[in-house]
């Protein structure tokens, strides 16, 4: 009897080991070296400047990924339900303005008052003032856009946007799960794209990015900044001047996963951090096999985003101008910042409300 029990236990252990070694998973992790983690020190020293946010209802929706303000001062938020929610300029009367039938992420207005949307499921969209939706781009250079993420419209009308992952599509996997898969694999499936509204063409400007996320055209219109979430950095791609067509690191070795980036006031660029770095993910960066093992674990055991409020402002040199945190994560998993004359509007991956912070409160 004892021998039978021991044999059964050994067989069970062998099956478990076999599962963790050979069970197929969708990722083929690539070895890389994670940059040093500065932690919450120096320019990122722990502070509570992001506490006490004012919250605004968003008509029963949640996950206000990005915020845009129109010429009349009305507030727009892209939500998890696929709705674009609009509030009056006095932040009252939230209403569902349009349903994209997808998952709108980054949003920005063009000079004609159209809301340009990076829809993770559908690609690049344009929503006219009357709510009519037009698909601008579903592919770039013949490659399907599988995870349109963030967008910014340049002064000349060209639209710069990111395709976070050409392998792990948002519609197939879900936006959150697809991001985890892409970051785990670290296979360079992200890219920066540009849509030319005159020619009606979409071209790839930068490829090989590890979860290409936030996009912001520089204040001088000479470059585009892109958050490379999976590599903890912001890169700059030059679209004009002597460095045109080249990319460089603007700021790297960040303490958290950068989500969206936006052009702010007075030369600032705002970066929102969705979650602090995970020591295990960094430790296994050079161990592809072990990252496969992690992927075979039940979802609840795998590393996941941790609620921690964090946004920062940088300048054109990559210097940190402001750093705001909330260690309790009262408004968690920050995804974007939109700066107006008086407020910072802050997005979230999961919150059931929109948040904002009066700039005078933090000395801006």
For residue range 306-364, list pLDDT tens digits in order. Answer: 999 999 999 999 999 999 999 999 999 999 999 999 999 999 999 999 999 999 999 99
Question: What mean pLDDT, rounded, does the chain reach?
Answer: 95
The confidence score (pLDDT) of residue 323 equals 98
Q: What pLDDT band is residue 9 in, cutting at 50, 70 and 90? A: low
- Helices 288-296 + 2-22 axis angle, to 10: 120
Closest CA to 156 of 260, 268, 239, 234: 239
Read off the DSSP letter of residue 102: S
Which of these, 271, 258, 262, lies nearest to 216 by C-alpha position? Answer: 262
The predicted-structure confidence for 55-66, as pLDDT tens digits, reads as follows 999 999 999 999
pLDDT in tens, 106-123: 999 999 999 999 999 999
pLDDT tops 60 at residue 17: no
- Does 18 have pLDDT greater than 60? no
Over 80: is that where the pLDDT of 20 sits? no
Report H helices in the chain.
2-22, 170-173, 175-185, 279-283, 288-296
Residues 297-308 have pLDDT tens digits of 998 889 889 999
CA atoms within 13 A on the CB side of 155: 8
If pLDDT is split at 50, 70 and 90, which confidence band does 134 have?
very high
Residue 296 has pLDDT above 70, yes or no: yes
Q: Are 117 and 149 in contact (CB under 8 A)?
A: no
pTM (2 d.p.): 0.95
pLDDT for the residue numbered 199 = 96
Give the pLDDT band of residue 24 (cuts 50, 70, 90).
confident
- Rounded to an integer, the average pLDDT of 257-284 is 97
Please name every residue paired with 155 in a beta bridge, in sequence order, or none if there are none.
none
In tens, the pLDDT along 32-60 reads: 999 999 999 999 999 999 999 999 999 99
**Looking at the predicted structure, is the pLDDT value of residue 171 above 60?**
yes
Average pLDDT over residues 240-257: 98
- The answer regarding whether domain 38-362 maps to CATH 2.40.160.10 reads no
> Quick one: pLDDT at residue 143?
98
pLDDT above 60 for 15 = no
Cβ density class 153-188: b for 16+ within 10 Å, e for less: beeeebbbbbbbbbbbbbeebebbebbbbbbbbbbb
Residue 78, H or E segment: strand 75-78
Token pair of 191, please?
A: 């890219």
Q: Tokens 């912070």 — which residue?
A: 357
3-state SS assignment for residue 218: coil
Residue 1 is predicted with a pLDDT of 66
Give Cβ neighbours of residue 184 (< 8 Å, ≥ 6 apart).
27, 29, 281, 291, 294, 295
* Cα separation, 311 vs 252, whole angstroms: 15
> Smallest Cα–Cα separation from 284: which of 276, 294, 271?
294
């Amino acid at each position: 009897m004892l021998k039978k029990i021991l044999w059964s236990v050994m067989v069970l252990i062998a099956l478990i080991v076999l599962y963790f070694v050979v069970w197929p998973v969708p990722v083929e992790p690539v070895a890389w070296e994670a940059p040093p983690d500065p932690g919450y020190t120096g320019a990122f020293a722990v502070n509570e400047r992001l506490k006490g946010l004012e919250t605004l209802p968003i008509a029963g929706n949640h996950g206000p990924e990005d915020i845009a303000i129109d010429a009349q001062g009305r507030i727009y938020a892209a939500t998890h339900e696929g709705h674009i929610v609009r509030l009056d300029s006095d932040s009252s009367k939230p209403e569902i303005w349009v349903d994209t039938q997808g998952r709108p992420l980054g949003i920005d207005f063009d000079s004609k008052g159209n809301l340009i949307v990076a829809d993770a499921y559908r690609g690049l969209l344009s929503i006219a003032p009357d709510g009519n939706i037009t698909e601008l781009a579903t592919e770039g250079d013949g490659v399907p856009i599988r995870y349109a993420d963030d967008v910014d419209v340049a002064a000349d009308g060209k639209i710069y946007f990111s395709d976070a992952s050409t392998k792990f599509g948002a519609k197939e996997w879900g936006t959150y799960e697809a991001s985890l898969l892409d970051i785990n694999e670290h296979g360079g499936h992200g890219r920066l794209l540009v849509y030319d509204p005159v020619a009606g063409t979409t071209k790839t400007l930068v490829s090989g990015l590890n979860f290409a996320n936030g996009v912001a055209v520089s204040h001088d219109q000479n470059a585009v900044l892109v958050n490379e979430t999976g590599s903890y950095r912001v890169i700059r791609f030059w679209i004009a001047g002597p460095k045109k067509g080249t990319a460089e690191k603007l700021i790297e070795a960040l303490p958290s996963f950068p989500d969206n980036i936006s052009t702010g006031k007075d030369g600032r660029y705002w970066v929102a951090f969705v979650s602090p770095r995970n020591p295990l993910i960094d430790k296994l960066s050079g161990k592809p096999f072990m990252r496969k093992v992690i992927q075979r674990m039940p979802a609840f055991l795998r590393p996941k985003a941790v609620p921690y409020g964090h946004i920062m402002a940088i300048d054109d040199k990559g210097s940190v101008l402001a750093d705001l945190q909330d260690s309790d994560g009262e408004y968690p998993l920050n995804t974007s910042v939109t700066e107006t004359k008086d407020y910072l509007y802050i997005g979230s991956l999961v919150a059931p409300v929109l948040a904002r912070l009066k700039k005078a409160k933090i000395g801006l």
